Structure 1
Amino acid sequence: MGRAATGTPGVWQSDLVTPRRKAPAAPAGRPDGRPLRRRVLGAMVGVATLAVTLFAIPLGVAMERLYHDDSAAALGRDASWIAAVVPDDVLSGRVPSVTLPRGLPSRLAVGFYGGGGQRIAGQGPARSDAATDALDGQVHEDIEHGYLVVAAPIPSDEKLAGVVRVALPYGTVRARVVRAWILMAALAVTVIGLAAAFALRQSARLAAPLEDLTMSAEALGSGDFSVRTPRSDVREANAVGVALEATARRLGDMLDRERAFNADVSHQLRTPLTGMLLGLESALSRPDADLRAAIGTAVERGERLRTTIEDLVRLRRGGGDGERLDVRALVEEAAAHGRGTLTDDDRRVTVSLPAEVPEVVASAAAVRQILHVLLDNAAVHGAGDVAVEVSDLGDGVAIEVSDQGPGIPEGRDVFAGPSHDGHGIGLPLARSLAEAEGGRLILRRPAPPVFSLLLPTR
Structure 2
Amino acid sequence: MESTPLRRRLLVAIAGIAAVTIMLFALPLGVAVQRLYRNEAVTELERDATVVAAATPDDVLSRPRSVRPPAGLRSGLDVGVYRTGGQRLAGSGPVGSALATHAADGRLHEAVEGVDLAVVAPVPSDQGVALAVRVSMPVDKVHDRVERAWLTMAGLAVAVLALAVGLARRQASRLATPLERLTQAAQALGEGDFSVRTRHSGIREADTAGVALEATGRRLGQMLDRERAFSADVSHQLRTPLTGLLLGLEGALQRPGADHSAALRTALERGRRLEEIIDDLLLLARDAGPERGPLDVAGLLADLEAQWHGRLAAEGRPLTVEAEEPLPEVAAAASAVQHILEVLVDNATRHGRGRITVLASDIGGALAIDVTDEGTGPLDAESVFERRSAGGEGHGIGLALARSLAEAEGGRLVLRGSAPTTFTLLLPGSASEAYT
Structure 1 and Structure 2 fold alike (TM over 0.5): yes
1:262 alignment partner in structure 2: 231
Contiguous gaps of at least 5 residues in structure 2: 431-436
Are the structure 2 counterparts of residues 275 and 405 from structure 1 closer, same or farther at C-alpha, using a change threshold of 3 Å? farther
Paired with 2:146 and 2:326, the residues of 1 have a C-alpha distance of: 104
Distance in 2, Cα, partners of 1:203 & 1:374: 60
Matches within 5 A, 1:114-263: 114-263=83-232
Distance 1:424 1:335, change over 3 A: farther
Q: How far 1:173 sits from its partner (Å)?
A: 1.1
How far 1:282 moved relative to its partner?
2.9
2:5 to 22, 35, 44: 35
- Counterpart secondary structure, 2:119: strand
Distance in 2 of aligned mates of 1:58 and 1:360: 79
The 8 Å contact of residues 377 and 425 in structure 1, kept in 2 or not, is answered as: no
Point out the more displaced range, 68-77 or 275-284: 275-284
* Candidates 16, 25, 31, aligned match of 1:61: 31
Report the alpha carbon displacement of residue 163 of structure 1 after superposing the two structures with TM.
0.7
SS of alignment partner, residue 112 of structure 2: strand
In structure 2, how many angstroms separate the alpha carbons of the residues matched to 1:355 and 1:214? 57
- Select the residue among 339, 359, 372 that pairs with 1:389: 359
Shift of 1:409: 3.7
Match of 2:434 in 1: none
Tell me if 1:321 matches 2:291: yes
Measure, in 2, the Cα distance between the counterparts of 1:251 and 1:296: 44
Of 116-125 and 360-369, deviating more is 116-125
Q: What amino acid does structure 1 have at the position aligned with 2:229? A: A
SS of the aligned residue for 1:91 comes to coil
Letter in 2 for 1:436: A
Measured after TM superposition, the shift of residue 340 of structure 1 is 4.8
SS at match of 1:90: coil
User: Among residues 238, 244, 260, which one is paired with 1:291 in the alignment?
Assistant: 260
Q: CA deviation at 1:296?
A: 4.0
* 2:275 counterpart of 1:306: yes
Which residue of structure 2 lines up, in the alignment, with residue 15 of structure 1?
none
* SS of residue in 2 equivalent to 1:256: helix
Q: Which residue identity lines up with residue 22 of structure 2 in the other structure?
A: V
Deviation for aligned residue 1:192: 1.0
CA gap 1:136/1:412 in 2 versus in 1, 3 angstroms: closer
Report deviation, 1:422: 6.7
Structure 1: runs of 5 or more not aligned? 1-30
Q: Higher mean Cα deviation, 318-327 or 80-89?
A: 318-327
**Within the alignment, does 1:451 sit opposite 2:423 as a pair?**
yes
Mapped contact 1:338–1:379 kept (Cα < 8 A): no
The two structures, once aligned, show a CA RMSD in angstroms of 2.2
Provide the secondary structure at the position in 2 that maps to 1:299. Answer: helix
Which SS does the other structure have where 2:314 is aligned?
coil
Is the contact made by 1:328 and 1:357 (CA closer than 8 Å) also made in structure 2? no
Comparing 266-275 and 73-82, the one that deviates more: 266-275
Secondary structure class of the residue paired with 1:444: strand
CA distance in 2, matches of 1:108, 1:136: 24
Partner of 2:68: helix, strand, or coil? coil
Pairs within 5 Å for 1:330-349: 330-342=300-312, 344-349=314-319
Correspondence for 1:441 among 413, 422, 426:
413
The answer to whether the 8 A contact 2:108-2:120 is kept is yes
CA separation in 2, counterparts of 1:355 and 1:37? Answer: 69
Quick check: 1:147–1:168 contact (8 Å CA) kept in 2?
yes
- The answer to whether structure 1 residue 430 and structure 2 residue 399 are counterparts is no
Opposite residue 34 of structure 1, the aligned amino acid is: T
Report deviation, 1:252: 0.7
Relative distance call for 1:410 and 1:213 in structure 2 (3 A) is: closer
CA–CA distance in 2 between the matches of 1:265 and 1:254? 16
Alignment CA distance shift 1:292-1:342 (3 Å)? farther
Cα distance in 2 for partners of 1:373, 1:49 equals 75
Give TM-score, length-normalised by structure 1. Answer: 0.87
Q: Distance in 1 between matches of 2:51 and 2:85?
A: 22
Q: CA deviation at 1:169?
A: 1.2
1:401 counterpart residue number: 371
Deviation at 1:317, TM superposition (A): 4.8
| Gap change, CA 1:41 and 1:257, over 3 Å in 2 | same
Contact 2:64 2:89 in 1 (8 A): no
Q: CA deviation at 1:342?
A: 3.5
Pick from 47, 57, 63 the counterpart of residue 87 of structure 1: 57
1:225 and 1:252 in contact (8 A); partners too? yes
Is the Cα–Cα contact under 8 Å of residues 330 and 429 in structure 2 kept in the other structure? Answer: yes
Q: Distance in 1 between matches of 2:250 and 2:375?
A: 29
- Contact 1:112-1:162 within 8 A present in 2 as well: yes
How far the C-alpha of 1:341 sits from its partner, in A, is 4.3
- Tell me, in whole angstroms, the C-alpha distance in 2 between the residues paired with 1:168 and 1:392: 110
Amino acid at match of 1:58: P
Q: 1:156 to 1:163 in 2, by over 3 A?
A: same
Cα pair 1:335 1:388 within 8 Å, conserved: no
Distance in structure 1 (CA, Å) of the matches to 2:256 and 2:227: 45
User: Aligned AA for 1:179?
Assistant: R
For the 8 Å contact 2:88–2:94, the answer to whether it is kept is yes
The CA distance in 2 between the partners of 1:272 and 1:248, in whole Å, is 37
Counterpart-to-counterpart distance in 2, 1:226 and 1:439: 27
Equivalent-residue separation in structure 1 for 2:352 and 2:262 (angstroms): 26
Q: Pairwise mapping of residues 270-285 of structure 1 onto structure 2 (< 5 A)? A: 270-285=239-254
Alignment CA distance shift 1:349-1:227 (3 Å): same
Moved more, 162-171 or 339-348: 339-348
User: What CA distance in whole angstroms lies between the structure 1 residues aligned with 2:30 and 2:73?
Assistant: 29
Q: How many residues are paired up?
A: 427
> CA shift at 1:392, angstroms?
2.6
Kindly provide the amino acid, as one letter, of the partner of residue 126 in structure 1.
V
Supply the distance in 1 between the matched residues of 2:410 and 2:88 (Cα, whole angstroms): 114
Deviation at 1:366, TM superposition (A): 1.3
In structure 2, distance between residues paired with 1:242 and 1:69: 64
- Shift of the 177–109 alpha-carbon distance from structure 1 to 2, 3 Å rule, reads same
Check conservation: 2:293, 2:333, Cα contact below 8 A. Answer: yes
Judge conservation of contact 2:84–2:130 (CA < 8 Å) in 1: yes
Check the 8 A contact 1:91/1:112 in 2, yes or no.
no
The farther-off stretch of 304-313 and 237-246 is 304-313
CA contact (8 A) 1:341 1:376 kept: no
Instruction: Verify: 1:70 aligned to 2:40, yes or no.
Output: yes
